């Protein structure tokens, strides 16, 4: 081999030949060390299955019983950072009646044809029970010894922006199909439908054209660019529920037999539902920034309906052709014409919990319809309210559709709808909105949340009406009828109509509903909320929202509002006052940093109707990262209050989701004499603005583009893709070995991905 020491720029072409040639030249010049090129065939499918499978883990939840660990639940998961963040389901990892374990064991794929091998333990750092997502962090060796995060160099995948997923897009599902005895498995299919729910709108779920084992729940669904776009999700029902299934793995009662007397772990059937990856991004962002949010005002608060019976209830099932911006039905229908592409099933619910498993089974002319069914998943809608399941953009075949709702595998309610024939012009009410009436009789406001007062107004559209047709309006408060008017129609065939409800003593804060009937048939319905005082454009339900800096919660409550906080603070307090806010009313808290959400939760109000200093504490023991932090308070889709403050310079130094387009690099570093992997090797990529000499002179981490440390087997993976045509510098350093250094390493645009290399170091 001929090497030119004057030529300082090398290119990476077809795998790693260029870089390794450079590394070999430098190593030979320095010490005679060897470097070896590991050729990779050019990819044909565009997806890096090897990297994805290596980043897929098997998770065992276990309960400590004396000196033994009893397995209580299991699932698949996915590494999303090299320092051990794992994305998976909450139902199989967060302790619950179904999964009561407190220890999480992480097993890795060592060989693609072998079962996973337990290697680590993990802790839960973020979770959302309703979305059924949890983020774990590897924190211990399998034997319980603590692990420092900066010593891990694990394979991981990139989390995509799932809003770009389209119908009929090809997806690859990766996970473990068995109970720990099988190797990682891969299934390919397409996205056949988007499923809508109030929790997240039109893209609450992706539906795939395949059925995979329930143990692959928590694994990953990938696009052609090897990016994670969804999490396969199902939730097995409790073993006490009718029709439940479970598997016995251990002799948990220590009688030397494995039988029905031992702990039986609940399992599910098959999965075709994917929770979009965008729901996981706030959890990942909070974990990567080390942020923990404490709700100091809810400590000890009791549930509003703690004394109610446990059995879930579904009622008042009806269909709508579309949903408005407030999550309410546009109108109520009994049939759809041929060629329809949008349908939503609405229903009321009560006595639901995050541990409830619900399901929707749909048949068309008696034949199961997988496109519109929803496989068993965890409930995300709170205790009571109105919910919907639906889709748009997906053609409905003609026929009689039957929708059956189940809770914990028990069928509760059924509704039917016919699709086909020509559109019928029948009398109809639709598009109900709420507001206040001005002096000209116009209804104004946000359409969903009204301030307290003596009157609530609604306007709706009517079509194809005949005078003298019987119609009715019924108003409800907290589920109880409070007003009813039954009369005949006198306003002509079409237009808009205003109606109202009044109370001289004032309408109480809380949840209201309006139902409109034509000849005894429900034609339109919508809910609204009354909260706060009438001051300005929006109801003043939340007051004096602000941040403060203090040493304790007691001091924070009296501290003045702050617009900026010194860098390095370990705690940041936020608070607000409230008025005319009824217990049980759903509200949403959303936290953002630099405009990106890292926490969001909707829950029922549990405190008194009026009060002061609702308090939160945001913490990071290493100091809250610089950035602009804000929180928002919403009722339904309406933002009623917000506050903002700046920490340090007011901007995150690095966006956790910023990704440079280019090449993913990984590899293995071996001892040249023993051919064994070398743990703890530092592989340093210097920014294209600096050379090895620059870095060695200053040792400034600001010059480092990316840093990887090899694991116990000598494997490493660079956590940022290499940008094309940028001349990097490389330093490879390990205790007891001769270092390797190179300047001007560039990646050409025709380089196949990923770059996979084997590097040999010689002892010094």
Q: CATH number of the domain that 214 lies in?
A: 2.40.10.120
Quote the percentage of the chain above a pLDDT of 90: 57
pLDDT of residue 438: 63
Residue listed under structure tokens 């009824």: 582
Residue 306 is assigned to a structural domain of this protein = no
pTM of the model as a whole: 0.78
Judged against a pLDDT cut of 80, whether residue 92 lies above it is answered with: yes
Same domain, yes or no, for 38 and 55? no
pLDDT of residue 266: 75
Same domain, yes or no, for 55 and 41? no
Q: CATH number of the domain that 409 lies in?
A: 2.60.40.10
HEC secondary structure over 680-695: CCEEEEECCCCCHHHH
Judged against a pLDDT cut of 50, whether residue 20 lies above it is answered with: no
Same domain, yes or no, for 235 and 147? yes
pLDDT of residue 240: 64
- Computed over its alpha carbons, how large is the radius of gyration of the chain? 30
Spatial separation of the C-alpha atoms in residues 249 and 229, rounded to whole Å: 32
Judged against a pLDDT cut of 80, whether residue 693 lies above it is answered with: yes
Residue 187 CB partners (closer than 8 Å, separation 6+): 172, 173, 210, 212
Same domain, yes or no, for 80 and 184? yes
pLDDT of residue 326: 86
Spatial separation of the C-alpha atoms in residues 459 and 499, rounded to whole Å: 6
pLDDT in tens, 657-685: 554 445 778 889 999 999 999 999 999 99
Judged against a pLDDT cut of 60, whether residue 13 lies above it is answered with: no
Judged against a pLDDT cut of 90, whether residue 179 lies above it is answered with: no
Same domain, yes or no, for 62 and 182? yes
Across 641-667, b (16+ Cβ under 10 Å) vs e yields bebebbbbebebeeebeeeeebbbbbb
Same domain, yes or no, for 679 and 608? no
Q: CATH number of the domain that 734 lies in?
A: 2.60.40.1120
Which structural domain, as residue segments, surrounds residue 360? 313-419
Higher local confidence (pLDDT), 369 or 10 = 369
Same domain, yes or no, for 80 and 197? yes
pLDDT of residue 716: 87
Mean of pLDDT values over 260-271: 75
Mean of pLDDT values over 115-138: 93
DSSP 560: P
pLDDT of residue 392: 84
pLDDT of residue 749: 67
Report the residue count for the chain: 764
Judged against a pLDDT cut of 70, whether residue 3 lies above it is answered with: no
Which H or E run includes 586? strand 586-593
289: nearest Cα among 552, 628, 706: 628
pLDDT in tens, 473-532: 999 999 999 999 999 999 999 999 999 999 999 999 999 999 999 999 999 999 999 999
Q: How far apart are the first and last CA of the chain?
A: 23
Same domain, yes or no, for 333 and 224? no
Residue 307 is assigned to a structural domain of this protein = no
Judged against a pLDDT cut of 70, whether residue 10 lies above it is answered with: no
696: nearest Cα among 704, 705, 706: 704
pLDDT of residue 723: 75
* Last residue within a domain, chosen from 481, 502, 530: 530
Q: What are phi and psi of 33, to 5 degrees?
A: -65, 160
* Last residue within a domain, chosen from 484, 503, 530: 530
pLDDT in tens, 388-404: 999 888 889 999 999 99
Residue 73 CB partners (closer than 8 Å, separation 6+): 60, 61, 91, 92, 93, 98, 99, 101, 265, 266
Residue listed under structure tokens 């660079």: 718
Higher local confidence (pLDDT), 490 or 603 = 490
Report how far apart, in Å, the C-alpha atoms of 37 and of each of 570, 668, 734 are: 47, 11, 20
Report how far apart, in Å, the C-alpha atoms of 433 and of each of 330, 332, 444 are: 10, 15, 9
Same domain, yes or no, for 125 and 97? yes
Mean of pLDDT values over 554-564: 93
Judged against a pLDDT cut of 50, whether residue 306 lies above it is answered with: no
Residue 309 binned pLDDT confidence (cut-offs 50, 70, 90): low
Residue 50 binned pLDDT confidence (cut-offs 50, 70, 90): confident
pLDDT of residue 442: 64
Spatial separation of the C-alpha atoms in residues 515 and 528, rounded to whole Å: 12
Spatial separation of the C-alpha atoms in residues 7 and 27, rounded to whole Å: 15
Residue 536 is assigned to a structural domain of this protein = no
Judged against a pLDDT cut of 70, whether residue 2 lies above it is answered with: no
pLDDT of residue 36: 34
Same domain, yes or no, for 109 and 251? yes
Which H or E run includes 486? strand 480-488
pLDDT of residue 417: 95
Assess contact for 668 and 677: CB atoms under 8 A.
Answer: yes
pLDDT in tens, 425-475: 899 999 999 987 766 666 667 788 999 988 999 999 999 999 999 999 999
**How does the average pLDDT of the chain come out, rounded?**
85
Higher local confidence (pLDDT), 376 or 748 = 376
pLDDT of residue 225: 87
Residue 656 is assigned to a structural domain of this protein = no
Spatial separation of the C-alpha atoms in residues 506 and 435, rounded to whole Å: 16
Number of domains making up the chain? 5
Residue 89 binned pLDDT confidence (cut-offs 50, 70, 90): very high
The DSSP bridge partners found for residue 647 are: 565, 627
Same domain, yes or no, for 195 and 60? yes
Residue 207 is assigned to a structural domain of this protein = yes
Mean of pLDDT values over 11-29: 34
What's the token pair of residue 58?
A: 């098997």
pLDDT of residue 713: 87
Same domain, yes or no, for 614 and 742? no
pLDDT of residue 52: 92
DSSP 57-113: EEEEEEEEETTEEEEEEEEEEEE-STT-EEEE-STTTS--SS----EEEEEE-SSTT
Residue 659 is assigned to a structural domain of this protein = no
Count the Cβ atoms, other than its own, within 10 Å of residue 615: 20
Higher local confidence (pLDDT), 207 or 753 = 207
Residue 279 DSSP SS3: helix
Assess contact for 128 and 93: CB atoms under 8 A.
Answer: no
Residue 375 binned pLDDT confidence (cut-offs 50, 70, 90): confident
Residue 708 is assigned to a structural domain of this protein = yes
* Last residue within a domain, chosen from 647, 679, 706: 647
Q: CATH number of the domain that 447 lies in?
A: 2.60.40.1930
pLDDT of residue 299: 61
Assess contact for 602 and 633: CB atoms under 8 A.
Answer: no
Residue 217 CB partners (closer than 8 Å, separation 6+): 75, 76, 89, 92, 175, 232, 233, 234, 235, 268, 271
Residue 487 CB partners (closer than 8 Å, separation 6+): 470, 471, 472
Assess contact for 645 and 563: CB atoms under 8 A.
Answer: yes
Q: Among 1-10, 71-80, 367-376, 484-493, whose mean pLDDT is lowest?
A: 1-10
Mean of pLDDT values over 275-289: 93
Mean of pLDDT values over 10-38: 34
Residue 468 is assigned to a structural domain of this protein = yes
């Amino acid at each position: 081999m001929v090497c030119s020491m004057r030529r300082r720029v090398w290119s990476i072409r077809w795998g790693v030949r260029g870089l390794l040639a450079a590394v070999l030249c430098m190593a030979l010049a320095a010490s005679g060390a060897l470097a070896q090129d590991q050729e990779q065939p050019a990819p044909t499918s565009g997806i890096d299955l090897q990297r994805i499978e290596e980043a897929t883990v098997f998770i065992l939840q276990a309960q400590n019983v004396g000196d033994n660990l009893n397995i209580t639940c299991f699932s698949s998961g996915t590494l999303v950072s090299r320092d051990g963040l794992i994305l998976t389901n909450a139902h199989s990892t967060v302790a619950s009646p179904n999964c009561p374990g407190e220890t999480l064991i992480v097993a890795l794929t060592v060989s693609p044809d072998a079962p996973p091998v337990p290697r680590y333990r993990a802790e839960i750092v973020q979770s959302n029970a309703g979305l059924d997502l949890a983020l774990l962090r590897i924190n211990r060796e399998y034997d319980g010894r603590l692990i420092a995060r900066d010593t891990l160099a694990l394979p991981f995948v990139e989390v995509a922006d799932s809003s770009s997923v389209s119908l009929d897009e090809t997806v690859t599902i990766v996970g473990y199909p068995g109970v720990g005895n099988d190797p990682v498995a891969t299934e390919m299919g397409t996205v056949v439908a988007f499923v809508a729910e109030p929790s997240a709108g039109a893209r609450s779920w992706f539906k795939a054209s395949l059925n995979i084992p329930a143990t692959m729940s928590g694994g990953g669904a990938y696009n052609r660019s090897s990016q994670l776009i969804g999490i396969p999700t199902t939730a097995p029902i409790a073993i006490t529920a009718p029709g439940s299934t479970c598997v016995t793995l251990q002799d948990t009662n220590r009688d030397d037999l494995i039988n029905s007397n031992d702990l039986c772990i609940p399992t599910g059937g098959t999965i075709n539902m994917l929770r979009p990856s965008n729901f996981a991004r706030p959890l990942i962002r909070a974990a990567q920034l080390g942020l923990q949010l404490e709700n100091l005002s809810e400590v000890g608060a009791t549930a509003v309906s703690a004394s109610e019976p446990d059995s879930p209830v579904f009622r008042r099932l009806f269909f709508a052709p579309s949903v408005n911006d407030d999550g309410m039905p546009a109108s109520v229908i009994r049939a759809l014409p041929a060629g329809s592409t949008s349908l939503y099933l609405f229903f009321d619910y009560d006595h639901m919990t995050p541990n409830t498993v619900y399901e929707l089974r749909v048949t068309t002319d008696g034949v199961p319809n997988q496109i519109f069914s929803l496989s068993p998943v965890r409930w995300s809608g709170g205790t009571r309210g109105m919910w919907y399941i639906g889709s748009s953009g997906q053609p409905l075949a003609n026929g009689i559709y039957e929708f059956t709702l189940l809770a914990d595998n028990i069928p509760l309610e059924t509704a039917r709808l016919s699709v086909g024939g020509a559109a019928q012009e029948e009398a109809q009410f639709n598009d109900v909105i709420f507001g206040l009436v001005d002096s000209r009789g116009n209804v104004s406001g946000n359409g969903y949340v009204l301030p307290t007062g003596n009157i609530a107004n609604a306007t709706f559209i009517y079509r194809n009406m005949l005078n003298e047709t019987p119609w009715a309006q019924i108003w409800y408060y907290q589920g109880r009828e409070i007003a009813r008017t039954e009369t005949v129609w006198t306003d002509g065939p079409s237009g808009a109509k205003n109606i109202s409800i009044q109370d001289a003593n004032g309408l109480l804060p809380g949840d209201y509903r309006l139902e409109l009937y034509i000849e005894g048939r429900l034609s339109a319905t919508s809910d609204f909320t009354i909260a706060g005082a009438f001051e300005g454009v929006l109801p003043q339900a939340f007051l004096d929202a602000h941040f403060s800096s203090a040493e304790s919660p007691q001091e924070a409550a009296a501290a003045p509002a702050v617009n900026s906080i010194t860098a390095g603070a370990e705690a940041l307090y936020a608070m607000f006052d409230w008025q005319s806010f009824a217990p049980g009313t759903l509200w949403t808290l959303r936290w953002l940093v630099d405009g990106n959400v890292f926490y969001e939760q909707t829950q029922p109000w549990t405190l008194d109707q009026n009060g002061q200093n609702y308090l939160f504490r945001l913490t990071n023991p290493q100091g809250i990262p610089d950035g602009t932090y804000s929180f928002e308070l919403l009722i339904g889709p309406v933002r009623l209050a917000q506050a903002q403050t700046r920490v340090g310079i007011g901007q995150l130094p690095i966006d956790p989701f910023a990704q440079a387009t280019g090449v993913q690099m990984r590899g293995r570093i071996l001892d040249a004499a023993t051919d064994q992997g070398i743990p703890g090797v530092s592989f340093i990529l210097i920014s294209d603005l600096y050379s090895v000499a620059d870095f060695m002179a200053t040792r400034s981490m600001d010059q480092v583009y990316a840093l990887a440390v090899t694991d116990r087997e000598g494997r490493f993976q660079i956590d940022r893709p290499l940008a094309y045509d940028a001349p990097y510098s490389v330093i490879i350093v390990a205790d007891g070995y001769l270092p390797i250094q190179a300047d001007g390493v560039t990646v050409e645009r025709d380089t196949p991905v990923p770059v996979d290399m084997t590097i040999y170091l010689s002892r010094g």
